[in-house]
C-alpha cells in the first residue's frame, strides 16, 4: 500500500485552507494533510514536546492562523459545515 499523499493546488496565498488540503511540509520534507499538520502542531505546542519537529514550527503556526481566520470570517464553526469537512477528511483517508 502506498502511503504517499499527492500534492494539491493551493489558493493564491499558497497556504492550505481546508482540512483535506495537501501541502508540502518544510520540516518533514513531505506532503501532509492540513488536518495532520494542525493536530501535530497543536499537540507539540500545547504539550510542550520540544522533540517534535512541529514544536514552534513557523509553517504550522501560519497554517493554524489561516485556518482559524477562515473559520472566523466564513462561519466554518457551524456544525453542518464541520460535519461536511469531517466527512471529506474520512473520504480522503479512505482513498
Tens-digit pLDDT profile for residues 3-32 = 454 555 455 567 888 888 899 999 999 999
Quickly tell me which residue has 518533514 as its cell: 28
Residue 82: the pLDDT is 72
The rounded Cα 81 to chain-centroid distance in angstroms is: 16
pLDDT value at 78 more than 60 = yes
pLDDT value at 50 more than 70 = yes
Cβ distance 4 to 31 under 8 Å? yes
Cβ distance 60 to 40 under 8 Å? yes
Mean pLDDT of 69-82: 64
Residue 89: the pLDDT is 84
Mean pLDDT of 66-81: 68
Amino acid at each position: 500500500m502506498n502511503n504517499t499523499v499527492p500534492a494539491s493546488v493551493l489558493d493564491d496565498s499558497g497556504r492550505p485552507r481546508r482540512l483535506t488540503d495537501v501541502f508540502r511540509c518544510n520540516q518533514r520534507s513531505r506532503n501532509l494533510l492540513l488536518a495532520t499538520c494542525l493536530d501535530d502542531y497543536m499537540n507539540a505546542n500545547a504539550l510542550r514536546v520540544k522533540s517534535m519537529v512541529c514544536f514552534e514550527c513557523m509553517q504550522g503556526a501560519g497554517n493554524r492562523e489561516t485556518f482559524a481566520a477562515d473559520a472566523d470570517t466564513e462561519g466554518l464553526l457551524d456544525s453542518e459545515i464541520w460535519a461536511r469537512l469531517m466527512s471529506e477528511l474520512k473520504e480522503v483517508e479512505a482513498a
